[in-house]
Structure 1
Amino acid sequence: MGASEFETVVQSFEENFRTRGEIGASVSIWWKGEEILSLGKGWCEKGEKRAWTKDTLVPVYSATKPLAAATLLLALEKRGLGVETMVREVWPAFPVEEASFGDLLSHQCGLSALDQAASIWEHDEVVAAIEAQVPAWRPGQGHGYHARTFGTLVDEPVRRLTGKVLGQLWWEEIAQPMGLEFWIGLPESEWARVAELYPGKASAGDFASGFYHEFNREGSLTRRTFGSPRGLRSVQEMNDPKAWAAGFPASGGVGTATALAKFYQAAIGAIESPLSESVRKALATRRVEGDDQVLIQPTAFSAGCQLDPVDADGTKERELYGPDAEAFGHPGAGGSHAFGDPELGLSFAYTMNQMELNVMPGRRSTTLVDALFGKL
């Protein structure tokens, strides 16, 4: 890493505001235990009432998932369990008998869509719907992104293991000891720091993709996945403090880019943290890849994180996480993005409030990643 790469990141960040519709955004880059770049610019709302700074909080949707996964992995470890433990040892009514926690965390259990109606606001309803669900596939038969059910799939075992909701355990065991300004269940004392989110706008090209074709097709697995459990579908609802406070582990995290990037420093072992070697290994180790039955494109997952898929020759099919095949992280709907590169000791996070219409990192974040790795 050299000064030229970081200068190009700064230039790309500025260009996002000039030509790509950015309203407010932050970027944080850490290298070998130190934050070496921290940017925050713009506004928390279109009315330009509050300036966006590097300390601004914002919901990051599914970029929450690896943090939630780390919390479950830590809870398992404290009980002498791990990724190869069968889920039914902790959750006896879990509907996939042969599933390990590694299978659950890598989207292999076929429980992305629920047939039984359940509200996202009612944890017990969602648990009952999961327990009644016939899996769409089973471990070893493929995988598909569990966009919304993932939250309950990790929260319920944590509750059974610890008697605490996942967001509380995350704060007590990981976030607070590390000084991370990231909450899965935001306290009222922090509400005034949260930026307002704005939905992305669709173009004709967006609906030509396989994902959006399936997303808009009535009854498709993709559409059912993103509607299960029901509720909290609009961006406006995510601007409600009720959503920030609820602590949804699949998509409800609220925090800073600095906190996300520092979490990945812990995940790659670049700093001391509550994450043990076994937890870090689970987050980093590729468990499944191939055609994603929900996202309708190739994906790869570890126990809680996403990686770039590779072809038969080991060449990356895309570089959302940079050129290293072992880099891992997770995007959030609309554009937020974070990852760690264990080979370089590098971590990156980008947060913003003007969303794009995507479930994978969009142009504003991928340009920053390309700049970081000298691709521009």
Structure 2
Amino acid sequence: MTVEGTCEPRFTEVAEEFERNLRERGEVGASVCVIVDGETVVDLWGGSAVPPDRPWRRDTVGHVWSCTKGATALCAHLLADRGELDLDAPVTRYWPEYGANGKEGTLVRHLLAHQSGLPVVRTPLPKGAFYDWKQMTETLAAEEPFWPPGTRHGYQGLLFGFLVGEVVRRVSGRSLGTFFREEIAEPLGLEFWLGLPEEHEGRVAPTIPADPSADLPAFYRTAFADPASTAALLIGNDGGYLLTPGESDSRAAHAAEIGAVGAITNARGLAGLYRPLSLGGGGLVSAERLALMAPAVSAGTDAVLQVPTRFSLGFAKAVDNGYLPPADREGIGYTETAFGHPGMGGSVGFCDPPARLAFGYTMNKQGPGLGINPRGQALVDAVYRALGHRQAGSLWYRPD
């Protein structure tokens, strides 16, 4: 398949792995972007946006799923850096209604670190619920947590954006998508949307679901075996967003501000989002704020996903699950100093400030897991090798 774009000679291996993904590893259409020291060193795209006859072009964009969480978290950190939001304050300081039914002790930081105790809701959600911000936030405010907030972590896979986004809305007076556009996307010149304008709809490469597999991750096994589990509620009580064929690629879904999983962009947009952070804050946030964004604050077996996960305040940290059964091995293979977020099926955006690195990868053909799949990991690995890093296990470090 045709690959277009630019790649500096030092990063030739990234281009080679990108081509191998398309030729040998089941990639259909994709983009990858690497920024080092603030300069774009890799900007490649190729394959098919809509097989068999619509090529992936420079301006093709796609649904990046949970990569969205990094954008939403950054909105909260901007407000915190400006002194308008205290991450150690109770959520009720900004969203008084949220204190109902045992949630009065929830801190803003608990929402960012997946420690809210509210990874899913019990209240049955009607069709299209994710397109009604008021309904979702009222439902969340009325729910009882599954565990005392702050005592454990469980992935807020589809609700992170409503939880954190409502705090952003209450503090800023603007919707999450509007705040992101006005304070981040437009100033940085990013084609990255939380709520896609209709005029860009024709540029979207629809998602191609992962191939069915008999070897299911523990999360899905639990979901199918126990309808009352948090895993089952995550995929089954979402107003039809996940399980209704084509729903997540509908115009209504693209237009909605779904701050956990709804963003539309490409690799250039993801890398561009993290570019200022790779430069010590880059005028977007202070160095002091950046230092608070990177460290892991939640770690261990995830109460929802049932495999080890690690999170900083809003971002996913490196985790090596290579010792687990094959279906649960997909982890996140970048350095301990890096932070960002993968999206379901394999897309990923992250920064590594000590390496002055920002990275983005998007594709339309999903892999089976929630971490970085082998196609994306091959690109990340090639970047780190070009930067002189060495691998320890499946993670990376810089030799002294």
User: Is the TM-score greater than 0.5?
Assistant: yes
Shift of 1:302: 1.0
Matches within 5 A, 1:146-161: 146-161=156-171
In 2, are the aligned partners of 1:197 and 1:235 still within 8 Å (CA)?
Answer: no
Match in the other structure for 1:339: 350
Asked if residue 320 in structure 1 is aligned to residue 329 in structure 2, the reply is no
Quote how far apart the aligned CAs of 1:99 are: 2.1
Asked if 2 retains the 8 angstrom alpha-carbon contact of 1:106 and 1:301, the reply is yes
What residue is the counterpart of 1:295 in the other structure?
Answer: 305
**Structure 2 counterpart of 1:112, one-letter code:** P
Alpha-carbon distance in structure 1 between the residues aligned to 2:64 and 2:289: 23
Q: Percent identity at matched positions? A: 34
Residues in 2 aligned to 1:336 and 1:176: alpha-carbon distance in whole angstroms: 22
Partner of 2:325: none
Hey, what's the Cα distance between the residues in 2 that align with 1:286 and 1:301? 5
Q: Residues 278 and 242 from structure 1, CA distance in 2 versus in 1: closer, same or farther, beyond 3 angstroms?
A: farther
Q: Which amino acid aligns with 2:336?
A: A
* Deviating more after overlay: 7-16 vs 23-32: 7-16
TM-aligned CA deviation for residue 5 of structure 1: 6.4
* 1:358 maps to amino acid: G
Q: 2:278: which partner in 1? A: 268
The separation in 2 between residues aligned to 1:67 and 1:332, in whole angstroms, is 12
Q: Which amino acid aligns with 2:235?
A: F
- Shift of residue 344, structure 1, vs aligned partner: 0.6
Deviation per CA, 1:119-165: give whole Å up to 9, x if none: 22222222222122111122442100000111210221122122211
Q: 2:51 aligns with which of 35, 46, 53?
A: 46
1:109 alignment partner in structure 2: 116
> Could you tell me how far apart the structure 1 residues matched to 2:79 and 2:122 are?
29
Q: Which residue of 2 is the match for residue 372 of structure 1? A: 383
Q: SS of 1:73's equivalent?
A: helix
Higher relative contact order (CA 8 A, sep 6+): 1
Q: What is aligned with 1:221?
A: 230
The residue aligned with 2:33 is 28
Q: Flag the 1:266–1:236 CA change in 2: closer, same or farther, 3 A.
A: same
Query: Is contact 2:277–2:284 with CA below 8 Å preserved after alignment?
Result: no
User: What is the distance in 2 between the residues matched to 1:319 and 1:200?
Assistant: 17
Q: Within the alignment, does 1:181 sit opposite 2:194 as a pair?
A: no
- In structure 2, the CA distance between the partners of 1:216 and 1:278, relative to structure 1 (3 Å rule), is farther
The Cα of 1:325 is off from its aligned counterpart by 1.1
The 5 Å alignment of 1:52-201 reads 52-78=56-82, 80-95=84-99, 96-118=103-125, 119-201=129-211
Say which is worse superposed, 32-41 or 264-273, in terms of deviation: 264-273
Distance 1:241 1:282, change over 3 A: farther
* C-alpha spacing 1:319/1:134, structure 2 compared with 1 (3 Å): closer
Letter in 1 for 2:210: G
Per the alignment, residue 218 of structure 2 pairs with 210
Aligned to 2:49, the other structure's residue is in SS state coil
Q: Residues of 1 paired with 2:283 and 2:124: CA distance?
A: 40
Cross-structure match for 1:314: none
- Using the size of structure 1 for normalisation, the TM-score is 0.91
**Cα distance change of structure 1 residues 101 and 321 upon mapping to structure 2, 3 Å threshold:** farther
Unaligned runs of 5+ in 1: 312-316
CA distance in 1, matches of 2:344, 2:146: 24
User: Counterpart of 2:15 in 1: which secondary structure?
Assistant: helix
Ranges in structure 2 where 5+ consecutive residues have no aligned partner: 1-6, 322-328, 386-390, 395-400
